[in-house]
Amino acid sequence: DTGVSQNPRHKITKRGQNVTFRCDPISEHNRLYWYRQTLGQGPEFLTYFQNEAQLEKSRLLSDRFSAERPKGSFSTLEIQRTEQGDSAMYLCASSLATGRETQYFGPGTRLLVL
Amino acid sequence: GQQLNQSPQSMFIQEGEDVSMNCTSSSIFNTWLWYKQDPGEGPVLLIALYKAGELTSNGRLTAQFGITRKDSFLNISASIPSDVGIYFCAGRAQGAQKLVFGQGTRLTINP
């Protein structure tokens, strides 16, 4: 399967714990995006990378959230001191920077904070 | 955060019927995308539109990029059970990389 992959698919944690999610983009894609989706809503943008550079961060991305893409390939999203309000589906997407850029999404990581 | 206005929010139809849904924005977009999402999965791209007035088909699906660049439409002809799911529109403004999504249209089909 050459699509976007995300791990884990599900994560249950207790409030106050740290969690880390991983995203592996489509291999030739140089842009990688993180979105968050809560129940009944469309995905909302969190941040994106072009190669290893993090070029934009949403105001939704509080200082408890950090994302990295150290070698311009896979990316990690870490949430520190999780809160119940962090419960959501975290989606990763990747794209190739062209004039007709299209973002392809992974299956998501569903986080439940108890 | 900013979201597009997508309607209807839900649809209950009979198998074989045609479906229409639309998305509007207060601002101009250079790209419109339509995705379908099944429960517990990520959105899957259906159709991408890059030019105002563009009409593009993918099998039984047809989407149009509105002339004003502030709206888009998706039609599904002769619906089948596997069309059940949530359909999202998404737009990208000029110079931006992020997508802005609608709230989704939940499609339910009665056999």
Decide: residue B21, CB within 10 A, 0-12 exposed, 13-18 middle, 19+ buried: buried
Structure tokens at B76: 């599904």
Residue B103 and residue A108: Cβ atoms within 8 Å? no
**Could you tell me where the beta strands, DSSP code E, fall in B1-111?**
5-7, 10-14, 19-24, 31-37, 44-49, 55-58, 61-65, 71-76, 85-92, 100-101, 105-110
For residue A95, what is the nearest residue in chain B, using CA coordinates? B97
What is the helix (H) or strand (E) element at residue A44, kind and residue range?
A: strand A44-50
A-B contacts at Cβ under 8 angstroms: 70
Write the pLDDT tens digit of every residue in A41-57: 999 999 999 999 999 99
pLDDT value, residue B1: 53
Best mutation target among B34, B94, B98 (most A Cβ atoms within 10 Å) is B98
Do B6 and B102 contact (CB within 8 A), yes or no? Answer: yes
- State the nearest Cα–Cα gap between B111 and chain A, in angstroms: 25
How much is the mean pLDDT over chain A? 95
pLDDT value, residue B2: 58
pLDDT tier for residue A77 given thresholds of 50, 70 and 90 = very high
For residue A46, what is the nearest residue in chain B, using CA coordinates? B98
Write the pLDDT tens digit of every residue in A53-75: 999 999 988 999 999 999 889 99
At residue A44, what are phi and psi to the nearest 5 degrees? -120, 135
Residue B90 and residue A42: Cβ atoms within 8 Å? yes
Share of chain A above pLDDT 90, in %: 88
Q: Spell out the residues 6+ positions from residue A80 whose beta carbon is closer than 8 angstroms to its own.
A: A18, A64, A65, A66
For residue B5, what is the nearest residue in chain A, using CA coordinates? A42
- Residue B84 touches partner A, C-beta closer than 8 Å: no
